[in-house]
Amino acid sequence: MLEALAVQPADALLSLIKLHNADPRATKIDLGVGVYRTAGGETPVFKAIKAAEARLLADQDTKSYLGPDGDMGFVNALIPYVFGADFDATRVAGMQTPGGTGAVRLAIEVAKRAGVGRVWMGTPSWPNHAQIDTAAGLELKTFVHATPAGTADFDALSAVLKAAQPGDAVLLHGCCHNPTGVDYTPAQWDQIAALLAETGVFPIIDLAYQGLGDGMEADAYGLRMVLAHVPEALVAYSCDKNFGLYRDRVGAFYAVSADSAALANAMGNGAAIARAAWSMPPDHGAAAVRLVLADPALTALWLAELDEMRARMAGVRARLAAAQTIGAMSMVPLGAQKGLFSMLPLSPEAILTLRERHGIYMAGSGRINIAGLTDGNIEAFIAALRDVAG
């Protein structure tokens, strides 16, 4: 039976973890999968999370089931951060998911059940977006996300929205675009919100890096502007990066609508899909986030840790931008891009040479994880780029 299975390629991005681990060179540089690293190259547990985990260990008196929607205290505690302190809470309903991937999966599946036939997506995008869309059986349509100059191709998005058909949805990155780091400006979000309202294209917003761009409030600008203009939307949220909970898989799926019956129905469908896929999300990380958000001192500690991460990444970006040009590549746009990622226009051969000759690991798309660069390796990285692209 099993011999009939088609051979599947390993996930190209996740394979980099193993490849990097197997490289014995002390000078190797990991710019692959999207995890934050300190200037010392570590990905520590947030201090605020450690403190919350200590409380969980001391106080949690059961690990009994919670149900398919997970920890609703966690889901509700995030609402003011995601949607704004003044957001009408009766317009939103949510449930916990295993990471941002679980949330995107629910959003796409619920959209399909609601009658969405096609999903528009700017490319390049996080490779899993296309995989989830295809796995859910939705038609995927693409447009160009970024211009060669490293800014958002707003005209491409706007043309797609204007030409959309009934039943079309658009999947937008709320902030810190993965893989390009190229975000829409606030002025562009204003126009996107107006266009969505005008065309009726259904928005699905993936907010996986809130707080890693310009801050928790600023990074929610686009999402909030869209929700101020449209009657309905779906939101996929991840705490894997902004709480450093990667392997604990902490995410949430939200539906927004003024129609309370429609909201309840969206959650009922989400719960049914979750039940058949994972039954219930893992509890530990979400419970820790809930405790952080319930305690003002831990909340302040968490926000300060996020500030430090942003400042470090801004420093790395400034140093890369200061390299000006490497071969035909301008490094300047990297200084203004947001979040963990930027994409370098390198050939597949150059990416392979970087790995084999210099021990530098990056996605095959040319995406680099900015946080993988430190005082100790950034000059070597720039020199290696000059070697392959200069």
Mapped onto helix, strand or coil, the DSSP state of residue 210 is coil
Minimum CB distance to ligand LMR, residue 100 (Å): 7
Minimum CB distance to ligand LMR, residue 126 (Å): 5
CB closer to ligand LMR, 12 vs 54: 12
Q: Is 4 exposed, middle or buried (0-12, 13-18, 19+ CB in 10 A)?
A: exposed
| Residues 354-373 interacting with ligand LMR (rule: CB under 6 A) | none
Minimum CB distance to ligand LMR, residue 368 (Å): 11
Minimum CB distance to ligand LMR, residue 81 (Å): 20
Q: Which residues contact 72 (CB under 8 A, 6 or more apart)?
A: 95, 96
Residues recognised as catalytic: 126, 206, 208, 241
Size of the residue set binding ligand LMR (CB under 6 A): 6
For 7, other C-beta atoms within 10 Å of its C-beta total 4
Mapped onto helix, strand or coil, the DSSP state of residue 329 is strand
* Closest of 11, 41, 298 to residue 127, by C-alpha: 11
- Burial code (b: 16+ CB inside 10 Å, e: under 16) for 311-337 equals ebbeebbebbbebeebeebbbebbbeb
* Closest of 159, 157, 122, 121 to residue 139, by C-alpha: 121
CB closer to ligand LMR, 199 vs 369: 369
By DSSP bridging, strand 92-97 and strand 251-256 are: antiparallel
- Rounded CA-CA distance 190/188 in Å is 5
* Residue 279 main-chain phi, psi, to 5 deg: 70, -65
CB closer to ligand LMR, 34 vs 124: 34
* Closest of 153, 160, 276, 175 to residue 223, by C-alpha: 175
218 and 339 Cβ atoms separated by less than 8 Å = no
Minimum CB distance to ligand LMR, residue 128 (Å): 6
Does position 212 interact with ligand LMR (CB under 6 A)? The reply is no
CB closer to ligand LMR, 81 vs 126: 126
CB closer to ligand LMR, 140 vs 291: 140
Site string (135-174) toward ligand LMR, x via CB under 6 A: ----------------------------------------
- Rounded CA-CA distance 337/314 in Å is 9
Does position 13 interact with ligand LMR (CB under 6 A)? The reply is yes
Minimum CB distance to ligand LMR, residue 372 (Å): 11
Minimum CB distance to ligand LMR, residue 34 (Å): 3
| Residues 33-62 interacting with ligand LMR (rule: CB under 6 A) | 33-34
Does position 126 interact with ligand LMR (CB under 6 A)? The reply is yes
Peptide linkage before 98 cis (omega within 30 of 0): no
Minimum CB distance to ligand LMR, residue 159 (Å): 27
* Closest of 67, 89, 62, 91 to residue 78, by C-alpha: 89
- Rounded CA-CA distance 173/182 in Å is 10
Site string (176-205) toward ligand LMR, x via CB under 6 A: --x---------------------------
286 and 96 Cβ atoms separated by less than 8 Å = yes
Site string (18-37) toward ligand LMR, x via CB under 6 A: ---------------xx---
CB closer to ligand LMR, 178 vs 377: 178
CB closer to ligand LMR, 176 vs 227: 176
Does position 342 interact with ligand LMR (CB under 6 A)? The reply is no
Does position 75 interact with ligand LMR (CB under 6 A)? The reply is no
CB closer to ligand LMR, 112 vs 129: 129
Which single residue brings its beta carbon nearest to ligand LMR?
34
- For the chain, the residue count is 390
Residues at the site binding ligand LMR, with contacts judged by CB under 6 A? 13, 33-34, 126, 128, 178
